[in-house]
Chain A
Amino acid sequence: MGLFVLRRVAQLVPTLFVIVSISFFIIRLSPGSPFTSERAIPPEVLADLEAKYGFDRPLMGQYFLYLGNLVQGDLGMSTKYPQMSVTEIISLGFPVTIQLGAVALVWALLLGVNGGIIGALRQNTKWDHGAMAVAMVGISLPTFVLGPLLVLVFALSLYIFPPGLWGTWRHILLPGITLGTAYAAYIARLTRGGMLEVVRSDFVRTARAKGLGELVITWRHMLKGGLLPVVTFLGPSTANMLVGSVVIEKIFATPGIGPYLVDAAFNRDYFLVMGIVLLYSLFLLTMNLVVDLVYGFLDPRIRFE
C-alpha cells in the first residue's frame, strides 16, 4: 500500500503541472489586465506597475518565472491587494472555509447516512418514502434559497443565531447546515441504494444465520458495503465542501476563500487565481486518493497494486 500511495503522490506532480500551465495561459487570454481601471493611468505609471509584477516580460518568460517561484513555494503577490501575498490570503481564509466545510460534512454524513439506512431497512414504508422525499427536497432546494430561509427563521424571526459573520459556534451552524444539506440528500439516496444492494447478499444472510443482532449486522456488515457509492461521491464533494461555496460565504458573510476564485478572476488578480486553482486541484486530487484508500478498507476485494 505504501508503494501505491507513493506512486499516486508522484502522479500528482505532472497533473498539477498541466493544471497550472493551462490555467496560467487561460487567465492571461482574458481581455483586460489587473490594472485596467475606469480612471486613466499615465502610461509611465502603468509601465512601472506592470514592471513591479514582471508583467513587462514576454508571456513565456513570465510563465517560467512563475514556475520557478512556485517550486520555491512562492505563490506571488496579489495585484488587487498589493500588501498581501497569495500565501497570506489563502492561509487567512482557508481555515475558516475548512471549519465551515467540516461542519457541513458532519451534518451531511449524520443526516444522509442515517436517512439512507432508515430508507433501506424500512424499504417501501412511510419511513422510506418520508426520508427519500426529504432527500429529494434537499437536492432540489438550492443553497441560495435554503440559506436565506434559515436566516429568516433562525436569525431574523427567532433571533437564535446571527444572520452572518464569523467567530463563535453560533456563527457556523446556519452556513454549515446550508452547505451540508444538499450533500446530505445525495448521501441519503446513495446510502439507501448501496444498502439495498447488500441487504439481500449472502454475507448478510450468513451473519443473520450466525444469530448476530440486527444492529451489528447493519453497522458492521451492511454499512461497509452499502457505503461504497457514498465514498465515491464523498471524494470530490468533500473537496467541494471544504474549499467553500461562493454563494454561502456571500450570504453569511463568512471570511473564507469561497468567493475568492470568482472575485480574483473578475479582478484579473492573476497570481491569486493561480494560487486558488492550485489549492483546489491539490485538494481534489488528495481527496480522490483518500477515496481510493478507503475503498480498500471497505471492500476486501480491492487490493492496492
Chain B
Amino acid sequence: MSFRRHHRATVVCGLVVSIAVAGCAPNGAPGYFGTVVPPHPPNEIWINNSNEPEYLDPGKLSDSAGSSLVWNMFAGLVQAHPQDLAPMPDVARSWDVSPDGTVFTFKLRDSQWSDGRALTASDFEWSWKRVVDPATASKYGSMMYVLRNAAPVNQRALWVRGVAWETGEEEEEVTASIAALFEEIAPVERVATAEWPERGAFVYLGGETEERAAYRDRAIEALDGRSYAGGALSVEVAGLDLIGVRALDDHTLEARLEGPIPYFINLVTFYTFLPVPRHLMEQLEAEGVDTERWTKPEHIVSNGAYNLVEHHFRYYYLFEKNPRYWDAASVRIEKVKTLLVESYNTSLNLYRAGEFDWSGRNGSLPSEFMAFLEPFRDFQRYPYGSVYFYWINTEAPPLDNAKLRRALSMAIDRQSIVDNVAQADQTPTADLVPDGLGGYEGLGTSIFDPEGAREVLREAGYASGADVPSFTLTYNTSEGHRQIAEAVQQMWKDHLGVEVQIENQEWKVYLKNLQLMDFEISRMGWILDYADPYTFLELLSEHNGNNHSNWSSPEYDELLLEANTLPDPAERLALFRKGEAMVRDAAPLIPFYVYTKSTMIKPYLMGFWGNYQDRHPWKYFWIDERWYDGVPEQTLPNDPPAHTPFS
C-alpha cells in the first residue's frame, strides 16, 4: 500500500501549541502533555481518525482512514496479533495447509452477523469473489491474485477449453498455438495455461481498453463451439466460478492458491479479505436501494467487535460494542467515537484539552513539535513498515546508466536526512526491504559512501559530476518532501558535483506523470501489505503495475518466482537476498529510510502496542480506572494478549 505524507492545512495553529505547552492543563500531571483524567463517559473513548474514509466496504476500501474503522467493524478468518502481528484465529478456528502449500482449508467457528444471521463459509466465498469481480471495480482486486485464477477473472480474460495438449508438451508451444487461433480475430496480449478446475487456457486480449469488450464478443462469436483438434472449443469470459475459493460446507472454506504462497495467512488478515453481508446487499437491491449505501448506519450489518451506529460526514463516526461478535466477552470499551480532524495541530490541541484519548494512526504529529513532544510520557514511537524512496526512470538519459544511479544512491547521507530533516528517528536504509521483516536479514548496504560514489561515478564514464547532464527530481507538494529534495540536491552537488533541478507537483498531476513515466526521479513511499519481504521486492517485477522505474529483469522475476515455490523459509529468504542485491546494483530506486510512527496516547488507555503495520484493534483497549482519581503511583503492566493456538 503506498501513501503520501499528509502535510495539509495546519499551518500556524502551531503557534498555539508552542506557547500553550508552557503551562500544564487542569487535570494534567507533570511529565504528561495535557489532561490525564478520562474525560468521556465511562468506557467511551474518542480517537482521531483524521480523514473521512472513501469506503467502509472492506472489498472496495483502499485508504488507511477506512482500514482503521473497518478492521474493528468486521472480523476476518484470521487476525493479526496486536503486538507482533503473528496470525491468530478469528472467525476461523483453525486451518490446514496441503503438503504442497497451495491449498488452505479453514475451519470456521459458529458466529453471527450483527443482525443475528449465521455467518457461513459461503459468505467468505461470495465476499472474496466479489472483490475479484471486475464489475465491483475494487481498487484492491489485485490483492486477491494469490487465489487461483483470480487475476484472469479480474482482468476479464477469455477462458478457453477444448484445447487438448499432451502432458509434458512445452507450454510455449501450447500457448503459441492458442494465441495464433485468436490472433486471427483480435490482438492477443498473452496466453496462460491453466490446470484447475480443468485443463484450459486464459487468453488476455490486447488493444485499447474500450475496444476489448468488442474484441471479446467477436472472439467468442467466432470461436466458441468451433471444432478444434477433434473436439469443440469452448470460449467464454472467465467467470467467478473459476476463482480458487469455495465453501465446502457452512463451516469449511477452501482457498486454492496460485502457488505455495508463504505469506498467505498474513495476507488474509488484510481488510480486503474481510466478509461482507451478502444477504443485506441482496435485500437492499430488492428494496430498490443503491447497494453502494449498505455501509450507512441505517443499513449496515457487520460481524466484528464494533457496530457503526452514527455517522456525520467529515465530522465523526460513532461505534458501539457488537454483542454478537464471537469474541464479545473480551471487548471492554463500550463506545468508540472516531473524529475526522485533518489538521495535525488541531488534533494535538484536542488531545491536549482531553477531547482525544489517542491522536490516532492516520494523521501525524506536527513535525515542528516532534522534538518538543518526545520527552512526554504519553508520547510513543515505533517502527513502521514503510519505506521512503525515489523512483528513477531508468530509460531517461542520463539515468539510463546504472552506475550513475548507483553513485547517486551512494552519495546520499541518509543519517543526516533523518537527523536534520525527517527528524523522527527513522531508520536510514540504502536497501529496499526493511531489515528483520518476516525474519529477513537485510543486505546492510552502506547508507552513505561519498568516496565510493565518486569512484562509481568515474566507472559510469563521468570524469566529474559537472559532466553529468542535468536532470529533474520531482516530488508531490509538501513541506517535508521539499526539504528532503533540497537536502538531496545539495548532497549530490557537494559529494558528486552533479546538478539537479527540483520541482514540485500537485498530487494528482504528480500521480499522472508517474503513471505516464513522464519524470526522471520521483518521490514515493511504500507501505507493506503483509509482513514478508516479497511485498517490497515484487514492486520491481516486470508486470507489476506499481513498478515506476522502467527497469525489469527476467532473471530477477524468475528468482522471485522460484523463491515463492521453496518450502524452506531460509532458502527462500536467501533467494530474496540475491534478488535484493540485483536491485541494489541496478539502482532503479533510491531508498532513504524506514518510517517510524509517532503518536500521543493517554496514559489511562491501555491495550495499545506499536507494530510494523500500525494496526491497533480497539477490542484490546481498556481504561485504567485508577486515573479517574488522580495519577497512580505505578503504571499497570500493559501485557499483550497470549498467542491463541489454532485449535
Contacts and interface: CB of A to CB of B under 8 A. Distances in A.
Interface of A: 30-33, 35-49, 52, 56, 80-84, 88-89, 92-93, 144-145, 147-149, 151-152, 155-157, 159, 162-166, 246-247, 250-253, 255, 259, 266-268
A266 B55 contact: no
A276 to B, nearest CB: 13
Given A32-B509, A82-B55, A164-B349, A40 B546 contact: yes
Query: Which residue of A46, A83, A84, A267 has the most chain B CB atoms within 10 A of its CB atom?
Result: A83
Query: Which residue of A43, A80, A152, A156 has the most chain B CB atoms within 10 A of its CB atom?
Result: A156
Interface stretch (B20-28, B121-129, B259-267, B328-336): B20-28
Contacts of A164: 341, 346, 349-350, 355
Given A31-B509, A148-B13, A266-B507, 4 more contacts: A46-B209, A83-B56, A84-B313, A163-B16
B352 interface: yes
Contacts of B4: 38
Nearest to B143: A39
A163 B1 contact: no
Nearest to B63: A37
A45 B313 contact: no
26 contacts: A32-B508, A36-B511, A36-B512, A36-B515, A40-B515, A44-B154, A44-B209, A44-B212, A45-B137, A45-B139, A48-B134, A82-B55, A84-B313, A88-B313, A145-B12, A149-B15, A151-B16, A151-B349, A156-B352, A159-B26, A159-B353, A162-B355, A163-B350, A163-B353, A250-B343, A253-B347
Contacts of A31: 508-509, 512-513
Contact of B52 (A38, A81, A253): A81
B313 A155 contact: no
B565 interface: no
Interface residues of B, number: 71
Contacts of A40: 142, 515, 544-546
Given A147-B13, A159-B26, A250-B10, A44 B350 contact: no
Contacts of B339: 165, 253
B475 to A, nearest CB: 13
Nearest to A254: B315
B369 interface: no
A45 B15 contact: no
Interface in B1-52: 1-4, 9-16, 19-20, 23, 25-26, 52
B295 A253 contact: no
A171 to B, nearest CB: 11
A81 B515 contact: no
A52 B137 contact: yes
B547 to A, nearest CB: 9
B137 A37 contact: no
A266 B314 contact: no
Query: Which residue of B137, B209, B312 has the most chain A CB atoms within 10 A of its CB atom?
Result: B137
A42 B19 contact: no
A65 to B, nearest CB: 18
A39 B1 contact: yes
A268 B511 CA distance: 12
Given A43-B209, A48-B137, A255-B312, A155 B349 contact: yes
B585 interface: no
A143 to B, nearest CB: 10
A20 to B, nearest CB: 22
Contacts of A43: 155, 209
Given A47-B209, A162-B355, A253-B343, A38 B13 contact: no
Nearest to A96: B315
B138 interface: yes
Given A250-B342, A255-B313, A255-B314, A163 B156 contact: no
A130 B19 CA distance: 28
A249 B455 CA distance: 54
Contacts of A48: 134-135, 137
B643 interface: no
Contacts of B15: 145, 148-149, 152
B30 to A, nearest CB: 17
Given A152-B16, A250-B343, A89 B313 contact: yes
A246 B343 CA distance: 11
B346 A37 contact: no
B268 interface: no
A292 to B, nearest CB: 35
Contacts of B62: 37, 39
B141 interface: yes
Contact of A45 (B138, B292, B352, B513): B138
B4 to A, nearest CB: 7
Query: Which residue of A30, A49, A151, A155 has the most chain B CB atoms within 10 A of its CB atom?
Result: A151
A130 B572 CA distance: 78
Given A46-B209, A48-B134, A164-B346, A83 B16 contact: no
Interface in B603-618: none
Query: Which residue of A40, A44, A82 has the most chain B CB atoms within 10 A of its CB atom?
Result: A44
Nearest to B3: A38
A200 B79 CA distance: 81
B26 A39 contact: no
Nearest to A91: B313
B209 A38 contact: no
Interface string B78-104: 000000000000000000000000000
B16 A148 contact: yes
Contacts of B60: 82
Contact of A37 (B9, B312, B511): B511
Contacts of B349: 151, 155-156, 163-164
B170 interface: no
Contacts of A166: 315
Contacts of B511: 32, 36-38
Contacts of B345: 148, 251
B402 to A, nearest CB: 24
A139 B515 CA distance: 45
Contacts of B355: 162-165
Given A83-B55, A163-B353, A255-B312, A151 B13 contact: yes
A93 B314 contact: yes
B218 interface: no
B25 to A, nearest CB: 7
Contact of A30 (B313, B343, B508): B508
B12 to A, nearest CB: 5
B479 interface: no
Contact of A162 (B20, B54, B353): B353
Contacts of B155: 42-44
A52 B138 CA distance: 12
Query: Which residue of B210, B342, B349 has the most chain A CB atoms within 10 A of its CB atom?
Result: B349
Contacts of B55: 82-83
B293 interface: yes
Contacts of B524: 38
B117 interface: no
Q: 9 smallest A-B Cβ distances: which pairs? A: A40-B545, A32-B508, A255-B315, A156-B20, A163-B349, A250-B9, A38-B2, A148-B16, A253-B341
Given A47-B209, A48-B134, A251 B346 contact: yes
Contacts of B509: 30-32
Query: Which residue of A33, A37, A42 has the most chain B CB atoms within 10 A of its CB atom?
Result: A42
Given A36-B515, A83-B55, A148-B13, A49 B342 contact: no
B296 interface: yes
A252 B346 contact: yes
B241 to A, nearest CB: 18
A148 B353 contact: no
B639 interface: no
